[in-house]
Copies of this chain bind each other. A is one copy, B any other.
């Protein structure tokens, strides 16, 4: 009787809900806006209401649901079901989400970090099928990681492993959203690539990049990608800098884990070939025996649904 699952992908700007059958086929979907200012209890009320509506409009009741899985862009205490902190949900600190959400829904709830959830999805249904060991990395506003060891997410002792973006790779550099100086994601991320381009133009570097930006748009990674393809030197340099940063990330992951398979997701990874070439070059520069013991970095496959699919797999 209990055979359906709901997977929720809580993002910094929107929340996606997927209704899945037993074989994890996606039956229906909802997307709402994230109100970053709302208190955890309020947001969980709203999320609970969306779940109930989603079921009702598919002629289902909560009694037919095995459970609800949710991925958060936060440090998570998986074992106890807490959101510890998260820069995209600034009011959420040590929130017992599993308990609060489960009370509202009247069903089993599991929560995890969004990168863990995406790693699970890519390893079960996407670009990482068959990889016993694998690291999923998402590069967009920040950098998150999900580590799969022996076919299971490795969460560490407190449930918050995989905070790859906060490893210190530099002794100066930009300050991270976490407050630290030198975090990987404080230099290698979409916003920092954009900031670099704007800074260079402010200091007099000429570039065609702004010609690609529509009147009601802001400069984004997409524009930089197109300008680079058309030969804009500043755009190319910005992608190279980002590629160097992500290349160093792979150097560190490889030195520590010696894992072969990596899946790269997130909006920044859509920069494609120029980014991949540069990061592979940087990797080969630092890991000189990589020819004999190569790594394989492949783009994520599941696209925008990765978060809801992965969240649904939290309920087994």
A contact residues vs B (CB 8 Å cutoff): 75, 77, 84-85, 94, 133, 145, 147, 149-150, 154-164, 166-173, 179-180, 248, 251-252, 255-261, 286, 288-289, 292-293
For A252, the closest partner residue in chain B by CB is B167
Whether A256 contacts B171 in the complex (CB less than 8 A), given A75-B289, A85-B289, A149-B149, comes out as no
For A164, the closest partner residue in chain B by CB is B256
Are A256 and B256 within 8 A (Cβ)? Answer: yes
- Please name all residues of chain B whose beta carbon is closer than 8 Å to the beta carbon of A258 when the two chains form the complex: 155-163
A75-B289, A167-B255, A168-B169 known; 17 other A-B pairs, CB under 8 Å?
Answer: A85-B289, A154-B257, A155-B258, A157-B258, A157-B259, A157-B260, A158-B260, A161-B259, A163-B256, A164-B256, A167-B252, A167-B256, A168-B251, A168-B252, A169-B169, A170-B170, A171-B172
Number of copies: 2
Are A162 and B248 within 8 A (Cβ)? Answer: no
- Please name all residues of chain B whose beta carbon is closer than 8 Å to the beta carbon of A255 when the two chains form the complex: 163-164, 166-167
- Please name all residues of chain B whose beta carbon is closer than 8 Å to the beta carbon of A256 when the two chains form the complex: 145, 147, 161-164, 167, 256
For A253, the closest partner residue in chain B by CB is B256
For A172, the closest partner residue in chain B by CB is B171
A171 to chain B, nearest CB (A): 5
Whether A293 contacts B158 in the complex (CB less than 8 A), given A171-B170, A251-B168, A286-B168, comes out as yes
- Please name all residues of chain B whose beta carbon is closer than 8 Å to the beta carbon of A166 when the two chains form the complex: 255
A11 to chain B, nearest CB (A): 21
Q: How far is the CA of A309 from the CA of B261 in the complex (A)?
A: 33
- Please name all residues of chain B whose beta carbon is closer than 8 Å to the beta carbon of A169 when the two chains form the complex: 168-171
Q: How far is the CA of A171 from the CA of B286 in the complex (A)?
A: 13
- Please name all residues of chain B whose beta carbon is closer than 8 Å to the beta carbon of A260 when the two chains form the complex: 156-158
- Please name all residues of chain B whose beta carbon is closer than 8 Å to the beta carbon of A261 when the two chains form the complex: 157
- Please name all residues of chain B whose beta carbon is closer than 8 Å to the beta carbon of A84 when the two chains form the complex: 289, 292-293
- Please name all residues of chain B whose beta carbon is closer than 8 Å to the beta carbon of A251 when the two chains form the complex: 167-168
Q: How far is the CA of A167 from the CA of B252 in the complex (A)?
A: 5
For A77, the closest partner residue in chain B by CB is B293
Are A156 and B133 within 8 A (Cβ)? Answer: yes
- Please name all residues of chain B whose beta carbon is closer than 8 Å to the beta carbon of A157 when the two chains form the complex: 133, 258-261
- Please name all residues of chain B whose beta carbon is closer than 8 Å to the beta carbon of A288 when the two chains form the complex: 179
Q: How far is the CA of A303 from the CA of B307 in the complex (A)?
A: 48
Q: How far is the CA of A157 from the CA of B295 in the complex (A)?
A: 10
For A285, the closest partner residue in chain B by CB is B180
Q: How far is the CA of A171 from the CA of B169 in the complex (A)?
A: 7
